[in-house]
Structures are given as C-alpha cells and as structure tokens.
Structure 1
C-alpha cells in the first residue's frame, strides 16, 4: 500500500497562554488504565481503550536513544503525529489522546532520559520510566527491571526528569516487587521522594512470569506506606486484572487508587467498559481495520493486533470465527483484508467515520461524559473494608485471592500446568541438582542462578 505523503512539522510558535489543564495525582485515581505494551499498545488500540472507558493510556516503551533520532511529522489529512525512524513510525499519536497519554521511556542515563522526554513533550501529558520489564531487549543496557538493582541510578533519572520538565508534565514510574517486602518499601520510599506523581506496581517479582499468579495481596501494605509518606502520590495495581468488573476486586484487595490492565486489553481493547464487546470478529475487527487504514497504520501492526483479538462468541458459531481468523492469517495487506471480507460485508472503507465517532466520544469527556469510575458507594465500601479487616491473610486465604471472580474470563485457562491446578508432574518443581537445569533470569550478565542469590 502506498503511504500518504506527510508534512514536515510546523515551526514552533511562542505560547500565548499557559495551559492550565494537565494531569494531577487525582487523574491517576479511581479508574482502569491501559498498560504499556509493545505492538499491542499501538495508537489504534489506545483509541479504542479510551473510547470504551480507559481513564488513561500508556504508550509502549521507547528507548531514549531511539526517539532522539526520530523525525516528527504531521499528517495534514488525519492530524496523526508520527515519530519516524528509518523505515516506519516508531511512535504515533493524535491530539485527541494527548490529555490521557502517558509516554513510557526506557533509559539508564539521566541526561539521555531528559533529552528523550523533551522530544515528545508537545504530544503527551506524562512521562513514565520503565523500571519493571524483565525482557532482554529492555534490561540489556541496564534499563527496565535492571534499574531495580541500581536504585541510585533509578532515582537519579526520576529526579532529573522532575526537576527539568515543565510542571504540566507528570513524571511517574512502573516497578516490580522485590523478593523482600522490606526492600520493596525502601525502594518505594526513595522513588516517592523524587517528586513523582504516580507509582505503578506490577505485582510480580523480576523472576516471575505471566503464567504465575500476581502477588496482589502484597500491594496493600505498599499503598498504605505510600499514603503514610504524605506526598499525595497515587499507586496503580498491575497484574492479573481482566476487566472493569475485575478491577473492583483488585482495588478492594490492594487498596490501590487505580488498576491497570495489560494482557486482557491485548485480547479485547474494549475490556475497560462495564460491558465489553463480544463476537469481536464482527463487532471490533472490521471497524478497527477500516480505521487503521484511514490513519495509515502500518499493516503489519494492524494484522498483529487483530490476530490477538479473542473473546466470547454468543452469536458467532465456531466455524465462522475460525474462518475469520484464518483470513486474518492469510491477509498481507489492506487490499487483502478487503478481498477476504475482513472489513465487513458492506465492503466500505469508512475509516474516517469510525475515527470521527471515537474522537467525538473521547472529546465528550470534556462535556461531562467521563469514563467509568471505580469509586464505590459508602455502604458497599464499608462492607468490603469490614470483610477485609476480618479476613487475616493466612496462607490458605492467599489461594482465595488468586481465584477468578464469577462471570470473569480466567486469565489462564485451566490446564495440567496451571498454577492452582491439582499437583501433577507438570507442576512439580524439579530441583536443579536433579534436573541439571537452572533457568537463567534474562539480565545483562546472562542471568544469575537462584542458588547464588539465596532466594
């Protein structure tokens, strides 16, 4: 598909007035937010998340040096802002999402972090430092979860950002739990004292993987600790939340101010709504593809995202939705999507109308049509607090925290290897001395055996 020619960025103009509307700690509270996710957190998916109730959206992590070499261009037709690399855009956005957009930065250098943040200031409302991703592409240069082992560096980056960025740009951080809760609290204290607005905690340790249950019961102590510091910093819970209704459960258990959804939003970006869409192959895939073409979203990213969409099929028989996914796998371009009827039986490229409707809904928030809130009425909240106080967290009750609420999709379908399944040969941890295998942690040095850490 031929790409539309893009205009050069217009010259900067002197500001005639100070923009007073900007994010505060309150904007990070009582909502469900979209996690930063590579590929699946692309601009079109963020738009759908905002349309269906996400209070804020995090863009995928971009490494500091990468964005420094990008060229900012604006599409004169759609208004889409693209930061282009050598072959394609590495970051795209639009003014309609700016009030809700948090840009996640990967960095291990305070000066580079500041330069990278200054590159995108005109298009975002907050900068978030990635201190939690355990994957090699993030940790190889001391970034991501590697920063958890270098707290001085971590805090120096946050301090540099907060002291040098405009006040209307929030600075936040996303971390993982440390193995020891006392060490986690000490790290949290140091981070909060840098002047951040929000702290997101992925309730897994660096060595844990998505298939392992998130330790959300550890977060309540962290939230209370942060509130006790009196800095007004909000705390967002991340880990194993699958929907808006499920977020209420996570909020009650953790006391967190908001809840972040990751994997479930990859499967269904409408999961932020109290009643998300079903039959996605007909209700979401066609308009999503049409809008992506209008916004000139790269086909490879569009195809990857729609291939992840899945959910209940109350009205589509299994052979039909399988045929649609087979067609998605075959399609190699937007032309193929049309030929294979992925844009709908009417066969119309009405992507401009789809985009205009989403813009109308998002802008409607300014008129009072805000996203759904996680605030609960006092009677319900009192009842839940009483239940929480009476329920002392014993080892047995930890299992209850891991159970999926009624009428909520299980984030990991039961199998022989499921964390809470009946003991079997696939779940038994075989000691390294017997198996001869000691899986490494993905770190810069190639991994440290658990035996060497005393864990």
Structure 2
C-alpha cells in the first residue's frame, strides 16, 4: 500500500458509505448483505468475487494496527485494494488510541469504513488485550471509538464488532456505552468468546441489543443461505446480516444459490490469477467451495496438490474450466466434469 497523496486520490463515493448502504437496503425492505472478515481469506480477489454475487459490504481480514503502522512489509502484504473494491470496511485489531489513529490516517482514503475487532477469541490476541479481550473493557473501547469519530466525524464510518457476555445485560451496557461514544453501527456475533461454532448462535441476544440501541445493528452467526439471512433479519430486526463461514463455502450465498455455482469458481480462478494469491490460500478456497460437490477421491487429490501449476492442470484434467475470453465463462451452475462427459459419450 502506498502512502496517500490526497491531492490525486478521488474522493470516496458517499453511496458506498456503509451507513448509506444500510439505509438504502432498509428502503428496499431487506437487510444489507455483508461478508465478514476472515483471517487470511478476505483478500482482494475473493472480495471482488463476492461483489458479483450481491454482497453489499465486504470486510478485509483483521489487520493488526501495531504491525501495520510500524512495518512496510506488513502494509504491503496485509492490504491491497483497487477502484472496484467498494464498499470496503477494513477490520482493525488494536487496543490503544495512538496506533488506531495512525492506522486510520494511513488507510482512510482507501476505505469506506473501519471496524474495531472486539470479538476475536484467538488466545494470542486475547493475551495482548486485542479482540475478545476488549469485551471486558467497554470504557477503553469507547475511548477508541471516540478518538476516531472526534478526528474524522462523518468522513470515516466506524463499526465495532462484538460478542455477547454470559450476562446479556452486560452486553447491552457495552453496546450503549460505545453507541454514546459515537460508533456508527454495531455488529453482534451471537456467541460468547468461549462458545464453539458448533453451538447455535444466540439470536435472542442480538434481538435484545437491537431493541436497546438506536444505531444500526448487524447480526452475525449461522447464516448459510439467503433463506437464513431473511429469517435472522426477521427475528432480530437487524439492519444487516453478516456471513463468514457460510460465504467462504458459498460466495454466491446472498445471490440465492444453495451451493457454489461453477461460474463462481471460474471467476475466482481468473481473479486469483490476475491479482496473485498464495497457493495455500487458493487451495483452501477451492477446498471450501467444492466440498460436498465432488467425490471424496477427487477432493483428496485436490488437497494433495503442491502448487498452483499442478492445480491448474488438475482442474483442466477433471473439469471443463473456461477462461475469461471463452464463450460461457462464469455462467454455468453445475460442475462440468470431464469424467461425466466421457461416460456420456460411450452410451
């Protein structure tokens, strides 16, 4: 990422401001569809893919402010963007005003909003007072929110992503404190920091928080289909629905597809090749998108591949993978298996 030259950068379109999107979706009588932050996996190629399948707002992976403001290499590796990367919220992991404001100064011309992570349960982050550790210090979170909003006001939309406490009244108090500090909207993950993802999200908790604050609230947890999104929104009255695990498995979730369409895989191949994506990240994305859609033997082969070149050859050997300049690119839904085609030719 280059340091901003504000005289040459175009102003952000106010229509891409997350608050404007939440308001527009409310007029359309639907929740905003939001792709949440995924460690390592919310990179630029995947973000661009999601926007082709009706995602209104997309998050970057969480970026540690401490590393970002001190290290050129961290800045280049953690954050890339372009003119199509809208509406974009960069999620920040931070526990002090100095680093947060320094990172905002570096990044705000390139984003439509920032999000403060108060929910990451990873032990290393919690030990450093980042992520879910902030759920026990609402006054500190309010200080961080207030510092950003005092400096930037409406020029920078600020979200805070929280989890719930065992005592839900404590969560309500937390939400009210950060709302008073000026946060623009709150995303609520309906689990505590110790709740496993295999346990259902607590939508009653999200509904309670929505009833007790005036700012928009986004519901996060257990959204694996468009039907889930509407059910969660109707139950909690949330202004937006965030999908994370669901959208990693099916980037076309908000477009109403029950599984990843083949066209999305072709488009992702094209984007990953154009922008560049480390092999292991590419492999993981393909693993998630194809899980349950190809037989186990093929899936094992996919996970045994050692390089992007091997993976391209493997796809071409087993499937009809169209390139961007070929007719029908990005349009098919079902997987075009070469094995099935060969079998049909012998009937």
Normalising by the smaller structure, the TM-score range is 0.7 to 0.9
TM-score by length of 2: 0.83
Matched with 2:340 is: none
Q: Which has the higher contact order (CA 8 A, sep 6+)?
A: 1
Give the CA deviation at 1:159.
0.9
> 1:179-228 CA deviation, whole Å, 9 max, x = no partner?
1122111111101011111100001112211111111112222112113x
TM-score by length of 1: 0.65
Give the CA deviation at 1:132.
0.8
How far apart in 2 are the matches of 1:349 and 1:18?
34
**What aligned pairs does 1:1-12 form with structure 2 within 5 A after superposition?**
9=2, 12=5
Matched with 1:181 is: 168
Relative to structure 1, is the Cα distance of residues 134 and 342 closer, same or farther in structure 2, using a 3 angstrom cutoff? Answer: farther
How far apart in 1 are the matches of 2:156 and 2:326?
31
Contact 2:18 2:113 in 1 (8 A): no
SS state of the match for residue 338, structure 1? helix
Matched with 2:339 is: none
Matched with 2:311 is: 337
Give the number of aligned pairs: 323
How far apart in 2 are the matches of 1:121 and 1:195?
17
How far apart in 2 are the matches of 1:49 and 1:62?
20
Q: CA RMSD in A?
A: 2.9
Structure 1 counterpart of 2:246, from 239, 252, 264: 264
Matched with 1:305 is: 285
Relative to structure 1, is the Cα distance of residues 179 and 343 closer, same or farther in structure 2, using a 3 angstrom cutoff? Answer: farther
**What aligned pairs does 1:212-361 form with structure 2 within 5 A after superposition?**
212-227=199-214, 233-278=215-260, 282-310=262-290, 313=293, 319=295, 322-342=296-316, 345=319, 350=324
How far apart in 2 are the matches of 1:348 and 1:305?
18
Contact 1:109 1:157 in 2 (8 A): yes
Q: Which has the higher helix share?
A: 2
Contact 1:291 1:352 in 2 (8 A): no
Max radius of gyration: which structure?
1
How far apart in 1 are the matches of 2:317 and 2:185?
40
Matched with 1:158 is: 145
Give the CA deviation at 1:15.
5.9
Q: Report whether the alignment pairs 1:14 with 2:17.
A: no
Give the CA deviation at 1:286.
4.0
Question: Which runs of no fewer than 5 residues in structure 1 stay unpaired?
Answer: 1-7, 73-81, 228-232, 359-455
SS state of the match for residue 251, structure 2? coil
Contact 2:188 2:219 in 1 (8 A): yes
